[in-house]
Structure 1
Amino acid sequence: MRYFEDFPVGETAAFGSRTLTRSEIVEFAGEYDPQPFHTDAERACESRYDGLIASGLHTFAVTIRLMAEHLTADAAFVGAVGIDELRWPAPVRPGETLAVETRVARTEERSPRTGLVEFDVTVHGDDEPVLRMHPLLLFERREADPEV
């Protein structure tokens, strides 16, 4: 079990991979982001993207899933307090595989029971970064005061 104190500033990790298929891109977008460049291959070819692309929300959701499986699953994770600077520098296309890279940017004791860890997260597609963000995550402290 990893606690707040187990995330030193500067620590890096790389984990997970997930390939997005054409059908799941269209299905996700149909439910949550029904833009033609996410849902209709013909119309997507006429768009500035010159083809179907995944919704940024889909890329974000896959990122959160990979972080849950590889970063917070074996940690005393309390929850997130926010995300700063969420960016999508390049589109994700069908068949592209996503992988997550994290770096602990800073830590801050928040209370006798919790500490905040800010991560620099970059999600790489096949050729370039496709998502960048700075999630602010709370973890229990190892030496938490049970009376607080």
Structure 2
Amino acid sequence: MATYFFEDYTIGDEVRYGPIAVDEEEMIAFARQWDPQPFHIDAQAAHQSIYGGIIASGWFTCVLAMRELVANYLSPESSLGSPGLDSLQWLAPVRAGDQLWLHCGVVDVRPSRTKSDRGIIKTKIEMSQEGESPVLSMIATNFVLRRGHSR
């Protein structure tokens, strides 16, 4: 992966990553540990739910997005963490076997007012199946090291 510094992010830039396979074993194991609601872990209960079958925890969907962001969008050499999300929406159920795509669009870029070694980027992040409406939407803020600076 190339190293991206603050200066490499420009408002309007868009990138797309995928496909990201939704593995049933991973999905259920995650839910058993972190979100053990019946429609995430129990096939019979899930079948009788409004979802008609097991669906991924929304948090698992976020984990899939984060793994892809770390692998492709945020560089380990320059990523300085995040103060959080402006919004997070789970828009549709995700199921085992789905093939998801991550779309990132830079919506804001500004140098830090208090720390000259970094800048702040805001990214609109969406996950969807090919050609379908998003299943996840969020706006993330990240601190990113400026070129020529070190940690």
Q: Which residue of 2 aligns with 1:121?
A: 125
Provide the alpha-carbon RMSD of the alignment: 1.5
Report if the CA contact (8 A) 1:17-1:66 is conserved: no
CA contact (8 A) 2:70 2:76 kept: no
Match of 2:146 in 1: 141
Normalising by structure 1, report the TM-score: 0.91
Q: Distance in 2 between matches of 1:16 and 1:73?
A: 18
Cα distance in 1 for partners of 2:23, 2:73 equals: 24
Q: 1:75 to 1:11 in 2, by over 3 A?
A: farther
The 5 A counterparts of 1:90-109 are 90-109=92-111
Which amino acid in the other structure matches residue 70 of structure 2?
A
Q: Tell me by how many angstroms 1:143 deviates.
A: 5.0
Structure 1 residue 128 displacement after superposition: 2.8
Partner of 1:27: 29
Report the CA distance between 1:75 and its aligned residue.
5.6
Identify unmatched segments of 5+ residues in structure 2. none
Partners of 2:41 and 2:5 in 1: CA distance: 41
Count how many residue pairs are aligned between Structure 1 and Structure 2. 145
